[in-house]
Structure formats: C-alpha cells, structure tokens
Structure 1
Amino acid sequence: MADLPNKARVVIIGGGIVGCSVAYHLAKLGWKDVVLLERKQLTSGTTWHAAGLIGQLRATANMTKLARYSAELYLGLEEETGVATGMRQVGSVSAALTDERLEELYRTAAMARAFGVPVEELSPKEVLEKYEHINLDGVTGGVWLPTDGQADPANIALALAKGARQMGATVKERIKVTGMSKEGRRVTGVDWASDDGKEQGHIACDMIVNCAGMWGHEVGKMAGSNVPLHACEHFYIVTEGIDKLAQMPVLRVPDECAYYKEDAGKILLGAFEPNAKPWGMNGIADSFEFDQLPEDFDHFEPILEAAVNRMPMLAEAGIHTFFNGPESFTPDDAYHLGLAPEMDNVWVAAGFNSIGIQSAGGAGMALAQWMQDGEKPFDLGDVDISRMHPFQGNKTYLFERSKETLGLLYADHYPYRQKATARGVRRTPFHHDLLAQGAVMGEIGGWERANWFANEGQEREYQYTWKRQNWFENSAAEHRAVRENVGMYDMSSFGKIRVEGPDAEAFLNYVGGGNYSVPNGKIVYTQFLNSRGGIEADVTITRLTETSYLVVTPAVTRLADQVWMERHKGNFNVVITDVTPGEGVLAIMGPNARKLLEKVSPADFTNATNPFGTAQDIELGMGIARAHRVTYVGELGWEIYVSADMAGHAFETLFEAGQDMGLKLCGMHMMDSCRIEKGFRHFGHDITCEDHVIDAGLGFAVKTDKPDFIGKAAVLERKETGPKHRMVQFKLTDPEPLLFHNEPLIRDGEIVGYISSGNYGHTLGGAIGMGYVPCEGEKAADVLASTYEIDVMGTRVRAEASLKPMYDPKSERVKV
C-alpha cells in the first residue's frame, strides 16, 4: 500500500539530493505534512552518478555562503542520521595553463578572501607540492582551497531523506505525479500513481516544490510554470585501482576541461567539454532509473589524451568504468530557485548545472526559509527563477544553448564574455540600423543589444582578456562623445510595464517608496521595497494620465518586477501589462542633446517647459514620440519613446540630423562606464533585496510622509538608527588596473567587504568601483577619514573614496 495522505501542506516532486534537502530543511523548520514523491528510487535520476565534488567558492558572496553551508551540513549529517556521507575535506587545486587563466584564478583567490574562504595562490612548483602526480608542462600557477572536499552524493541524499523522516516528513518512492489540479494561479493538488500502476490517488496541497531535475521542464509545464533547462550527456572514466595511491586533493585543469578525483585508490577523470551533447530531446523514457547513456569514446578521447599527458600515471592504469550520464543545464549556467513567476504557490529547485551536490544543502536551506517567511532570506537574484523569460522555455532554444552551457563551467570566465549559441531571438526595432553602423552585439535576457561600435576595418567581435579588451578605446570614444558632445544609444530592451486603472495612483503609492501623486508627465525615480527595507526593484515611473503610469525596469528584471506588482495588487483595481515590445527607445545624451532634438522637432525642450524629470509628447520628423527627460549617464539628455511602427523613421531622422554635429552611436558599455562615474547604482550588483535603501544612499527617493507603503517601518527605523553600511564610490589612484566586481575592499588594512560593481572611468581617469563599507554608529566623516585599498589579483591598490558622485556631484550638468 502507498499509504499516502490525502492532504499535505507541501508536496515535493523529485527525490534527488535537492528534493531531499528541501524536505529536510522544511521539516527542520517545524513544518508538518511535508510529502516527498519520487517516481522511481531516491537518487535514481542524476544524483547517484554525480562526481561528488564539494567546492565552496562560487561567483558571488551569497552563492559562496550557500556552498559553504552545504559543506558544513554534510560534515554533521552522519552523526545526526547514522548514514555515512563520505564527506572528506581533502582540499582542491586548480591549475592554470595560460597567463589569462592564471589571472582569473588569482582574481578568484582575491574574491575568496573577501568572502572569507581560505585560499592560497600557488606557483607551478607549489602546485606540484600539493599534487605530486601532475605533469607541470605548461602550468603557469594555480590556487589551493584547503576546505574543499568530496563526498558520496547518493548517501548524502539518503541521509537528508532519513533526517526529514525523523522530523516527521513523508518520503515515498515509486510514486509518480501524473497530473495537477489548479485554480487560477494556484495548484490545489497533485494526482499520483504507483510505479506498478495498481494504485492511484490525489493529494490536496497548499503548495508544491518542483525538484524534478532533468524532468523539471515537463513538471513545470504540468504546474503551469516555465522551468527552462535541458539535459546534456556528462562523461567520466574511473580507472582500475592504482598501487599505493593515497588520498589526494581534487585537481581541476580547466584549460583541458578536466577534473580529477581520487576515490578508494582509483582516479575519476571527468570532463566539461566545450561542445556538449544535448540529450533527451524527445523526452525521457518512463522506465529511466539508474540508467547510463551509450558510450561515446570518440567524443571523450581528446580529453583523455590531454589527461594522460597531464597525469602520466593514467597511461599505466586500466579503465574500469567509462560512464556517460545525463545532467540538466540552464540557459545561463545558474540553477533555478524560488517561486515560479506564473504561479503563486509553485516553488522550484532544479537545473543545477553539474554542481547540485555542493549546492543542494544551501539551496534547500534558502528555499525552505523563503517558503517560511514569504520573502527571500538574502539576495538570491543569481538563481531566482523569475530571471527566466517565457521564451527561454522554447525547446529549440534550450537545445541550442545547452551545447554551450556545459562547457562554460570550465571555460575562461572573462569579463563581458557573451554567449555564442541561441542568439538573435529578441531584436529591437533599431537592430539592423545599428548593425549597419558597426554595432557589436551582446545578449541579455535574449535581447540583442549594441554593446560597442567597431571602427571601419576593425573586427566586429570580442577579443577577450582580463586586461583592456579590443573595444576599450571604442567605448572610451563613445564615453567622451556623451560627456562632451552628443551620443545616441538604443534602450528598447528595458522593460516597459503599464499600470492602469482607477486605483493606479493608490496602488503605486502602496507598492513603491516614492510619491506618485504627481502631475501628468512627471517622472519619479523609485524603488520597490520589501518589509525589511531591502530593494526589490529599481525603476522609473512616469505618470501618463490620471489613471495610467509607465514603469520602466532593467531588461532582465522586467518579469520579476511585474510579478512583484501582481503579487501585491490585492484589492486595488488596476491592470498591469507588459508593453516592452511596443515601443522603441533611443537615448539622446550629452551637452548638445537639446540642439539635436531641436533640429528634428518643433517641441519646446527648455527647462521652463520640459524640466528634468518630466515627459512630453512631441512631433519627431514626420512622426510622433514621447520624450522623457531623464538620464542614467549623468548628462543632459532625453529618452525618446516611439511606437514600433515609427521607430525606423525616428532613427533615420535623428541619425541624419546628427551627422553635422558629430553625433556618435554608443553602446551599453558606455552607459555603464558613465553611470558608475556618476555613482548611479546598478540593480543586481550595487542594490539587491538585502541592501537597505538607506544604506544604499537612496533614502532621498523614499517619501515617508505618505500613508503606509511596503517597507515604511523599516525605512523609518533605519533613518532613526543611521545606516549600518554606506555605499561608497572608489577610484583607483593607479590608472592601469581594472575593476570588475567582487574585488576585496580594504579599510585601514583590513578586508571589510568587496566591490559590488566596477568599470573604467574614462573622464575621471581610473577604474571606478562601488562598494558597501560597514559603518554602524559612525558618521559619514568617519568613513571618509579612513585609508582604502582594493585587492586587484593579489595586489593592494590605493583608492580614493567618496560618498558623493565623483563626477558632477551636484548634478548641474543634467539640469542645464
């Protein structure tokens, strides 16, 4: 007998390590009526054949926090449950074969220090001392992470499942979810059937969690939600036993796409090859359980050939196992966690991109806390599933992108690196006009965007490096054009959401921190806050009419920002609509922006009629448009909104009128370098849901004299106590080094944080970074009285610090 309840608080679908972790952590929080259903046996999808590497350093502070939590959890699970996890902190060595890779590793080591992870940079000789079996040919250096480890993935999952059961959760194997009942934006229950088909039933539930791994896409569809992921073949070999092989650290040689793990006197050699093999395009057989895929030795042979040279002992060792098993990968190599945007009680933890073992403990903890509180416990923007746009569930797109994402795990993680596959899905109305003028496109959220413009005869492609890339001077020229004359760039990809209805004003005054009781045409820069005063969205809101507003968001957060509003709509009588594709947007920025617009439009662009922060309808050439006087680059300028049908005409009219003025087409790299000089915050880097709006220096945008709004109490409290951190702008005194983000921030000799975003300030003459400085109980003057340095690849570089924008601190240029 299945012996399943007919009602549960939550049903977790999938019994791999992630599903078991979610069940364990919910039970640990005291949840009762937790039911986990596994279609076959626990771990039988991907978990059972994972390599079990437990790395602790990830690309951001919070992802590192989750990985470290996993390692600590696994160390204690055996004592708690009696199930051996095989967790051993053997350390890991990553070896570089090029100077570029060594810079990446050394920058990673600096980041580890900022995140509190023990780390040591290694010379080639020291690499050999840590890993005696490596052939040092071509090795330029490496890094040592002593607290990294390895474990038995299946046993960790079984330990988590046992722990969940001990705390009252129900964990059932050989029960498949066959369907779901839904009412509006909620799943009300799941239908199930036993593996042998003899039993079936229904469990009413308050919520579900999709932990179905490589089945997550299909389970997502069943639940009315989009979970973009695709399975790929993942290869490794295990040698015969090697005489006298002692316990060894994990070795990674990313330039050869390889990792090595000693286990019971054998070597496991695995690969993340650049051109992966997608799998399961026609679905996964219902009988799949602990299955292997057919061998493809030709595909693996180049990896093995390099490995035999890198570790000569492999030449003498026989191959005991050639393994090929499927794992799921997402379009951006970050896993999916959180509340599905399309539904109000469907949670997701899936698509772990071959790092599921090291991630599962922390991901389960974070998701359980999120489910408990109804708010993220800290910033999870990197993995929040609301970053995924609807088109990314397209199977053809996923098939094409997955060929690349597996290999990106070990590819050079250069700054500004662009995805090469599944491109060209979303194009702005100006796409072909920009290409004709030399645009080099990047991609974000599927949007093709001009990042920089090539000169005549210059290669129209990125040449990646950790130093100044081939477009550095191009972007510098675009930067100077905006600072000194006039530039034009495409902002059509930014999200545009209309909020309309009789309660539009009251609704926005509740959901946002600003005051939207303003005249028609007024633009309000604002944030959506959570109950802790953290920043959930950073937007501008323009009042169009008495009953309609336009909310403009960053391109990638459009869906998340719209969902945030939808979920807080309550009884307000409003309609919220995405209108992003309906209008093209051209930004005209620079001291001569007004002169250019006056050449193409009879409208009045003077301060008297169109002051900063206002919008007006205008004639443009032979068409019509709407001009928003606002800037993200810190100069006089307008964003010109024009309906898609007139966008081509608008571009031609502005471009031709600008030819005798030296108008320069510009890209997104210019926009970022200009905004960081002006100290403007970048959502997702400088400001997130765990950064308090007062600490971020954005208290001016929050109007506490209006009636209750989300986060008001937290804002008033922090205004009373003063900030716990201050967002500070830094400029390196040496003009040569570059800042990207996550470089350690050093105050009076001690690491106190890290750079949240960085770029080069072409006007200020050095790399510029933003970062939070802890300052509880301190005055602003105390913060600035300190000496600051930033760790760039292990070298401490002096930095000037400022709480006001270093460029145009009084914003006089934008208001002329």
Structure 2
Amino acid sequence: MSTETPPSRADTVVIGAGAVGCSVAYHLTELGAEDVVVIDQGPLPVTGGSSVHAPGIMFQTSPSKIQTKTAHYTSRLLSDAGVYDEVGGIEVARSEERMDFLRRRVEWATSYGLPEPQLLSPAEVTEHLPLVDKDEILGGYYSPTDGRVDGIGALQWYMEHSTASFYGNTEVTDLDVSGGEINAVETAQGRIDCERAVIATNNWGYQTGQLAGLDLPIAPVEHQYVVTEPMDELAGVESSVGDNTTGLEVPGDRSIAEYMSEGPHQPVGRDQDHSLYFRTHGDALGMGSYNHETLSVDPEAMGKNSEEHQASVRGFTKEHWETPTHRGRDKSAKQAFDELLPATQDVEYEATENGIFVFTPDGMPAVGETAQVDGLWTGLAIWWTHSGGYGRILAEWMENGVPRLPSGPVDTGGIHVRRFEPHAGEKDYFVDRGAKRYEQVYSIVEPRWQPDDHRTLRTSPFYHQQKELGAEFYQSGGWETPQWYESNANLVETYEDRIPDQDGWQGINRSKIEAAEHLHTREKVSMFDMTTFSSIMVEGEGSQAFLQQVCSNDMDLDTGQVRYSLLLNEGGGILADITVVKLDDEEFMVTTGGGNSPGIHGGHLEDEAPATVSVHVEEGAKSTIGLWGPNARLLLQRCTDADVTNNGFPYFSAKQMYVGDVPVIALRVSYVGELGWELWAPTEYGQRLWETLQDAGEDLGVRPMGGGALSSMRLEKGYRLWGTDIDTDSNPFEAGLPFAVDMDTEFIGKEALETAREKGIESKITPLTLDDSTDIMLSGRPVTKDGDAIGYVQAGNYGYSIDESIAYTYVPTEHAEAGTSVQIQCEGETYDATVRDEPLFDPTRDRIIK
C-alpha cells in the first residue's frame, strides 16, 4: 500500500479503489500478476464512492446463477478475511404472492448451491428478528450464510494483502487511446504508461469511459438510508460508533462512514413487498428504501469529494421517505417500516443519506475487455455483494483468458461488456432503462416481462406486415420480435385437443397460439422472421486458415458448403455456436444469433483476425426469413429457378440465388427440425421477400410463426441456444456437441479439450420429460435425485409434437443414462421426471433431410 506519487509506468492500472477495483487488484496479484497500480480520486480507504456509504448488506440468492455464485464466493472470501458478519439474512412476505416468490428463492438457492435455505413461519422470523411484528407477515426466507461486509475494513484488508500499489487522491484526467489500444492513464499527478487498464469507477463509469471515447451504459441512481438513534429495544449491545474511522481521512459527513462500519448482531432483513431492507448498527437500526420514485443522476455530473461533501452521497430527501412516490407501492417507506417494525415509529435519525449506485439497462454487471479498445477492461455496476466474485472472474479472464471461479468456469453472456446493443450508450436510453431496473429491484417480475419504453427502436422490414397480422411483439436487443400472431388464433381450434392448459406462474404471458403455430409448422409451412440474427462476413487472404484457428470444426470447405461449429476460449468453454458458409475462395459468411451475440461473437472474431482478413459484423444489414415445414420445398420452388430438390440442394449446403426478384443467400438449415431454408437478403429487399413467399404459399397454408413456437420446437430437437443451454461455463463434450469438434485440426481451446477428454466428462446435458404433468418447468429450478440436488433446469417448454413437458439440464454422468428417475422442484411443487435420450423428436432426421 502506498500514498506517494504514482509511478510513470505499470503493467496494469486499475482505476477505482472501491470494492471492485480492490478485489481485481487483489486477485490479479494472487494469480501472479506483477506491477499492478490502483488509483482513486478520493482518499484511501474512504474513497467517497458507494463502497463506503453502503450498509454492506449481502443477500446471496438470485435467479441468476452467476450472481448467486459470485455472492457466495464473496461471502466466503470476506468471511475468511475477518471482515464479514455471517448473521444470516431473512426476507419476509406480507402477501401470498411474495410467499410464492420466497419459495422460488429456496429453489434458486438449492439449484446454485447455497447452504441450508429454508422457509420460516412468522413466529420463527421473530425469533431471529424480534423487532418484526409477526402479525404483519406471512412468513420468511432464511439464508444462514447471508450477512454484512464491513466496507472500510474490507478495503483495508484488500490493500494490506495485495502486492499491488495503491494511490489515493489521484484523479484520472484522460485515457490515452490510439491504434485501438490503451497506452496510458493520465492523472493529475502525471502520466502512467500501461499495457492494460481496468475501469472500476462504478458511479463514474460513464465519465471514465468517455475519456476513451466509449459510451458505457452506466446509470447512477439515488437510494435512501437512515440510521436511528440508539433504541431501548437494542440496549445492551456494545457500540463503537465514534471510533470506527479514527485516523482516517473521510470526505463529507463522517457519521455515515462511522455507522456503516458498525456491525449487526441480528440477521439482516428485507421487506420486498415494500422495497425495504434493514439491519442493526450496534444499538441502532439502519433502514434502507427503494420505495420511492427513481431519482436518476446525470452520469456526467457525479462531481468530486470535498471536506463537506462525499461525491456519491446526496442530501436526504424527506419527502421520498414519508410520501409514497414509488408507482408500484401504496405506502411510504416510513409507513411500511412503522407497521413492520413498530418500535421505529417515533425514533429520531442520527444519520441519513441519499447514496448513489448504478444500474445498466438490463440490471446486470458490465465486465470484460471492451470491443473498441484492446487492453481496456471494465468491472462496473457491481455491488459489495458480488464484488469479490467478479474481481476473481475478471482477474482470471485477464491473466488466463478463462473467466472462472474456484468452482469452475462461469457463463459470461449476461455480464459481458460487449453485450450491449449499438443504441445502449445513448444517455436518455440507458438512464431510463436504469431507472426501470431500480424500480424493479424488489418487484416480482413476471416471466417474459416486457418494457414499455423505448420501443420500436429496431424493426425488421416485415414489421408493418407483422403489425397487420396482430403480432405480439417482445423486445430483444432493441428489436421488435413477434412472439405469436393473433392472425393465427383460428389455428387454436384446429389443434385444441393437443394444447394443454398452462395455469399459474408458468402460464403467465403465454398464449395457446404459440402451440398452434408450433403444430402448424410441423404439418404445413411457416415463415419466421430471423432479422435479429446476424451475419458476419469474413473475407481476404488467409480467411479459411483464420477460421480454422478459431473454429472447433473442420473448415476445409468447398464453395457452397455449410458447417456448424463452435468458438471456444482457451479453457475450452463455448464462446459461441455459429454456422459457417463458404461463398467463394476466401469469402465466408458466419451466422450467429441476435441480442448480445453480434457484439460478443463478432467482437471475438475481430480481435483474433490477422491484418489480411476483414471481419465485418452485419448487424441489421440483412433481413432473413426461416422457411420451415413439410411444404417448404414446394413453396420455395414456386419462387425460384434454382434447383431446390434434395439432390440439387442437399442439407447443410448454400446457394446464392433469387427468390422472385430478390437476391438471397439460401442456407438449407433448420432450427426447428423440419425441412426448410434460411433466406438471407439485403434489408432493402426484405419486404418484397416476405410478400413473394406469402403470395406463393397461400394455398399451401403458409403462416407467420413467432418466437414462442421456435422455442418449443428447438427444444424437442435438442438444438442448443447460446446463453441458455451453452456458454463459457460448458465445453462441447459436456454440452453434447462432439460432432462440432474436429480434434484432427488446430484451434483455440483444443489443448483444454484434450485435457478434459483425458480426465473424463463429469457432467452432461440431457433432456428430461415429466412423468405425469403437462406443466412447463422454469429455468433455475433444482433437479434432484434421492433428495439431493444434482442440477437445475437450463430451459423448459412443452413439446407439443411429442405431447410431453421437456426440461434440459446438466447432470453428473452417472445420472445421465436414459430411464433414470429424478425430480424437479418448481413453484413449490415436486414433479417426477425421467432422463431421456435425445433428440426427443424425429431422431432419424427424416423430416429434415428428405
């Protein structure tokens, strides 16, 4: 630890000495990194950021596996460091809907390995939290390893146990970026040349990114917290308030840092029905509230510390504490606390704050190397709860090329800084979406929930036809994507006897039309809008050799061949599944999914490409229709002079041809397990392509098909979905994709796969079907054997063609044999299920290759 002037050079500069920056530095040096420098604009360790005004409460359970895993790692790390109070955490329910939610908490905790999650009766809650009025609650969820981190103590521990050098009162004034890479960090104390840098400035993340020309979508929001005067009900508990920050430089109100350093002696608590949480501070009580309208802060106006002002704290706004301003809550924070904790009704507050922390548009962290600047990494939108885990993940990623925790590789699709769409950096957009995520922090969010702001940002050329057909639009990556079409409502009657009712939580925001579209496609022909999918053009001298280097499959292709392959990281984890089309000598089209795929997958190819190879991500440049079903060939042949017979256009081949007068690249592939093609055309031709196929196929029963049908059809065939079934936390052998790997070729990740194959595959993806229920299983729910969790649901849907409910999961190989009986816990129910061989539908592929 140092307080002197920073050096003029370092291998790595970490910008920000809060929870994340200190964690990254600690873990980098633990992994052997040398010459790591950490700088912060504030004093050390009380930097003036959210790490030192936060109450440090850590609730580990999340519907997200990576959020739960990083939280648990953080709690274990800081517990071993002696700066974590493992007092347990209790979330109470004041409604039946919330009790259902708490049952989900138990299921998520069980799935992701948290110890001893349990539901409590009201009386059991008050045994742990005697201030709670048991008549106000229906029960609670208890996680015994939840607790509270001493923020200042943890920062000091990191600094003392890392070989990195730390420099406070060092303001970053610029980032020297040229040639597409980071060269130096400019500070008020001088320039630091470096090979890589990490932006860990959280509340200032947007401003720091701007110094490098990046529009990072990091939205600061105010959040209220109060600490009461000493309470008679907590009398007898020792308190060291007044001595906790002795000798430390503290910007702004010292009482905030004093109270945040005071530990709890009872479990930390949450009342999510009213967006509240609480913990003891010695003989006082701290109460936090999301129960107010979103108070967004201009990300360009975060400000700086002073003796009177902590930059990440705003003045307490009493009206937001005492008046109900949250549009989803009918009581103010004070009203709700007075009811739940009656002893707080007349107490005075010793400390108050509107503290600032940040949200991204989807509420998840932004981690990884930026696409625009080589060597510039981010660790943003991360709270104390997950900071240790993400620091470890980022350090492993930077040092070894594989994001991982000690428990193994982690999935990065939902946290990667490259996942954001081109529009996400527009300030109004990410501030509005960040505000929505703040509003939802403690809300019960329905399955398939959709935002209502910033819609119709991205529409395919088919959008107006789809509106006329009554499309129910969902937003994905900013695109408006039909989930089903009301014009197909008349199909429900046709297939009514094959469509079971879906009630309860699993049936929310679903339509029987999705099932009807599924079954119709199996019998007739449908058009699916694939415009959200992306093409990546790879061209130039050495293109084939380059693709061989990054692709797990053999890329020795003839013109017109199509091959399914994977992109792997150095650890053999799946970065992407892709389709590679050879159009001509040294000219290839790589296709991948939508959403976060273009930024992550395209960015990876751009990073790896040599100077002679051009990689161009054509996000939105092509409009694409998936034409699938038994009548697909007959319909397509009516529209083209090209030979589309099985001999003339075999499965997994491609042609550049015309459909009507529209030039297309036609791929004979299918993501639904039916005869069909993907038709890729320049966007300006999209509307004509739709009209041509629609007019030609009217008598053949052609219909539009939405994403709901695609989801259930692909699951029947066992086709993988990146970010759901496969990601960087699984290798191809575990994921059941050995056919996408040619071990006779050389590619990134091969060495790791050889090691994995020699070691033996410990887990394997497998389909399950329910024995006696038509309910749909939801992701993240535990799969058990003899009462022990052996996996969790990756994806679930109803297989309307096979008349069974399907769930995909990874299980230990000893349980992966077909016929094995297991159970799935979902929505408080236990379902008997059976392991099955895949694919469940058309295992001989007769329907695809005919």
| TM norm. shorter chain > 0.5 | yes
Corresponding residue for residue 284 of structure 2: 266
Report how far residue 789 of structure 1 moved: 1.7
Q: Does 1:290 align with 2:320?
A: no
Corresponding residue for residue 742 of structure 2: 703
Q: How does 1:317-466 map to 2 (within 5 A)?
A: 317-352=347-382, 356-377=383-404, 378-381=409-412, 382-454=414-486, 466=505
Conserved? CA contact 1:511–1:710, under 8 Å: yes
Q: How far, CA to CA, are the matches of 2:606 and 2:503 in structure 1? A: 41
- Aligned to 2:831, what secondary structure does the other structure show? strand
Q: Does 1:766 align with 2:804?
A: yes
Corresponding residue for residue 196 of structure 1: none
Q: TM-score, normalised by structure 1?
A: 0.92
Q: How far, CA to CA, are the matches of 1:506 and 1:55 in structure 2? A: 49
Q: How far, CA to CA, are the matches of 2:702 and 2:318 in structure 1? A: 56
Q: How far, CA to CA, are the matches of 2:787 and 2:316 in structure 1? A: 54
**1:342 to 1:750, Cα distance in 2 relative to 1, 3 A:** same
Q: How far, CA to CA, are the matches of 1:439 and 1:137 in structure 2? A: 47
Counterpart AA for 2:393? A
Corresponding residue for residue 739 of structure 1: 777
- Aligned to 2:424, what secondary structure does the other structure show? helix
Corresponding residue for residue 161 of structure 1: 159
Conserved? CA contact 2:763–2:812, under 8 Å: yes
Q: How does 1:170-319 map to 2 (within 5 A)?
A: 170-193=165-188, 200-245=189-234, 247-273=265-291, 275-287=293-305, 290-291=310-311, 292-300=313-321, 301=323, 302-319=332-349
Q: Which of 810, 825, 839 is the aligned partner of 1:791?
A: 825
Cα deviation code 1:110-147 (max 9, x no counterpart): 22112221200234454444433334567444311111
Report how far residue 803 of structure 1 moved: 3.0
Q: Which of 108, 113, 116 is the aligned partner of 1:116?
A: 113
Conserved? CA contact 2:506–2:778, under 8 Å: no
Q: How far, CA to CA, are the matches of 1:417 and 1:204 in structure 2? A: 46
Q: How far, CA to CA, are the matches of 2:487 and 2:443 in structure 1? A: 29
Corresponding residue for residue 152 of structure 1: 150
- Aligned to 1:496, what secondary structure does the other structure show? strand
| Unaligned stretches of 5+ residues in structure 1 | 79-84, 194-199
Q: How far, CA to CA, are the matches of 1:766 and 1:104 in structure 2? A: 26
Report how far residue 499 of structure 1 moved: 0.4
Q: How far, CA to CA, are the matches of 1:50 and 1:764 in structure 2? A: 52
Q: Does 1:101 align with 2:76?
A: no
Q: How far, CA to CA, are the matches of 2:510 and 2:724 in structure 1? A: 23
- Aligned to 1:565, what secondary structure does the other structure show? helix
Report how far residue 419 of structure 1 moved: 3.0
Report how far residue 109 of structure 1 moved: 0.7
Q: Does 1:657 align with 2:696?
A: yes
Cα deviation code 1:197-247 (max 9, x no counterpart): xxx321111211111111111212223444221111111222222212273
Q: How far, CA to CA, are the matches of 1:426 and 1:726 in structure 2? A: 38
Q: How far, CA to CA, are the matches of 2:291 and 2:631 in structure 1? A: 50
Corresponding residue for residue 605 of structure 2: 565
Q: Which of 529, 540, 544 is the aligned partner of 1:490?
A: 529
Q: Which of 792, 798, 805 is the aligned partner of 1:754?
A: 792
Report how far residue 439 of structure 1 moved: 1.3
Q: How far, CA to CA, are the matches of 2:157 and 2:215 in structure 1? A: 30
Corresponding residue for residue 244 of structure 2: none
Q: How far, CA to CA, are the matches of 1:666 and 1:310 in structure 2? A: 49
Report how far residue 456 of structure 1 moved: 9.0
Q: How far, CA to CA, are the matches of 1:515 and 1:679 in structure 2? A: 22
Conserved? CA contact 1:415–1:740, under 8 Å: no
Corresponding residue for residue 768 of structure 2: 730
Q: How far, CA to CA, are the matches of 1:621 and 1:542 in structure 2? A: 23
Conserved? CA contact 1:237–1:270, under 8 Å: yes
**1:50 to 1:661, Cα distance in 2 relative to 1, 3 A:** same
More divergent stretch after superposition (562-571 vs 677-686): 562-571
Cα deviation code 1:400-438 (max 9, x no counterpart): 212201122211133222233333322222222212211
Corresponding residue for residue 129 of structure 2: 131
Counterpart AA for 1:217? Y
Report how far residue 6 of structure 1 moved: 1.4
Conserved? CA contact 1:226–1:340, under 8 Å: no
Report how far residue 18 of structure 1 moved: 1.3
Corresponding residue for residue 586 of structure 2: 547
- Aligned to 1:502, what secondary structure does the other structure show? coil
Report how far residue 748 of structure 1 moved: 4.7
Q: How far, CA to CA, are the matches of 2:80 and 2:750 in structure 1? A: 41
Q: How far, CA to CA, are the matches of 1:637 and 1:101 in structure 2? A: 45
More divergent stretch after superposition (314-323 vs 365-374): 314-323
More divergent stretch after superposition (201-210 vs 445-454): 445-454
More divergent stretch after superposition (550-559 vs 24-33): 24-33
Q: How many residues align?
A: 787
Q: Which of 615, 634, 651 is the aligned partner of 1:612?
A: 651
Report how far residue 332 of structure 1 moved: 0.9
Report how far residue 281 of structure 1 moved: 4.8
**1:652 to 1:275, Cα distance in 2 relative to 1, 3 A:** farther
- Aligned to 2:449, what secondary structure does the other structure show? coil
Q: How does 1:84-99 map to 2 (within 5 A)?
A: 85=83, 87-99=84-96
Corresponding residue for residue 59 of structure 1: 63
Counterpart AA for 1:299? H
Q: How far, CA to CA, are the matches of 1:659 and 1:603 in structure 2? A: 21
More divergent stretch after superposition (183-192 vs 693-702): 183-192
Counterpart AA for 2:821? T
Q: How far, CA to CA, are the matches of 1:293 and 1:464 in structure 2? A: 46
Report how far residue 647 of structure 1 moved: 0.9
Report how far residue 385 of structure 1 moved: 1.2
Q: Which of 469, 473, 480 is the aligned partner of 2:519?
A: 480
**1:269 to 1:286, Cα distance in 2 relative to 1, 3 A:** closer
**1:715 to 1:364, Cα distance in 2 relative to 1, 3 A:** closer
Conserved? CA contact 1:455–1:474, under 8 Å: no
Q: Which of 29, 44, 53 is the aligned partner of 2:48?
A: 44
Q: How far, CA to CA, are the matches of 1:52 and 1:739 in structure 2? A: 35
More divergent stretch after superposition (683-692 vs 382-391): 382-391
Q: How far, CA to CA, are the matches of 2:104 and 2:345 in structure 1? A: 34
Q: How far, CA to CA, are the matches of 2:754 and 2:402 in structure 1? A: 20
Q: TM-score, normalised by structure 2?
A: 0.88
- Aligned to 1:581, what secondary structure does the other structure show? coil
Q: How far, CA to CA, are the matches of 1:138 and 1:751 in structure 2? A: 33
Report how far residue 698 of structure 1 moved: 0.6
Conserved? CA contact 1:487–1:590, under 8 Å: yes
More divergent stretch after superposition (135-144 vs 114-123): 135-144
Counterpart AA for 1:626? I
More divergent stretch after superposition (174-183 vs 57-66): 57-66
Query: Identity over aligned residues, as a percent?
Result: 31
**1:454 to 1:298, Cα distance in 2 relative to 1, 3 A:** farther
Q: How does 1:791-810 map to 2 (within 5 A)?
A: 791-810=825-844
Report how far residue 286 of structure 1 moved: 3.9
Q: Does 1:525 align with 2:557?
A: no
Q: How far, CA to CA, are the matches of 1:790 and 1:283 in structure 2? A: 49
Cα deviation code 1:701-745 (max 9, x no counterpart): 212233x22223333454455432221111111324321212212
**1:136 to 1:815, Cα distance in 2 relative to 1, 3 A:** farther
